[in-house]
């Protein structure tokens, strides 16, 4: 049986949402994962049992499905008028005229 270890998993084709949300399903409740760059490549630093090739393939399939669903949701959200605002909608900010600050000299008012 394999022992727990720390290792880097390349992130190509793996959705951050899926990997971070499902690693304990695959490796147990003591496993942890975080985004990590290794030698200039994005991926994940995992503490736990080594993932099998089948488990990595399952994560990739789940990631593709998640990304497909999210793309469809975003496309439909753009077509429909929804009460939920688009998060990246530009918001105009008008320049307010500066208030003139008046300084009162107490010596003049005597």
Whether 14 contacts 63, CB under 8 Å = yes
Number of domains in the chain: 1
Residue 48 lies in a domain: yes
Phi, psi of 106 (to 5 degrees): -60, -25
Predicted pLDDT of residue 75:
76
Residue 18 lies in a domain: yes
Strand partners, 43: 10, 36
Residue 109 lies in a domain: no
Alpha helices per DSSP H over 1-110: 16-27, 53-79
Closest CA to 45 of 23, 73, 72: 23
Instruction: Give the residue numbers spanning the domain of 70.
Output: 5-79
Residue 107 lies in a domain: no
Residue 49 lies in a domain: yes
Residue 13 lies in a domain: yes
pTM of the model: 0.66
Residue 105 lies in a domain: no
Q: What is the pLDDT along the chain (110 residues), one digit of tens a residue?
A: 568 899 999 999 999 999 999 999 999 999 999 999 999 999 999 999 999 999 999 999 999 999 999 988 887 765 655 566 566 667 677 766 666 656 555 555 55
Residue 74 lies in a domain: yes
Predicted pLDDT of residue 18:
97
Predicted pLDDT of residue 103:
57
């Amino acid at each position: 049986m394999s022992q727990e270890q720390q290792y880097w998993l390349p992130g190509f084709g793996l959705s951050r949402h899926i990997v971070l949300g499902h690693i304990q399903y695959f490796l147990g409740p003591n496993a942890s994962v975080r985004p990590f760059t290794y030698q200039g490549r994005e991926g994940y630093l995992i503490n736990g049992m080594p993932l099998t090739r089948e488990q990595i393939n399952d994560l990739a399939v789940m990631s593709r499905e998640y990304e497909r669903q999210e793309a469809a949701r975003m496309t439909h959200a753009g077509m429909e008028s929804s009460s939920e605002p688009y998060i990246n909608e530009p918001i105009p900010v008008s320049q307010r005229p500066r208030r003139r600050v008046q300084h009162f000299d107490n010596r003049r008012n005597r």
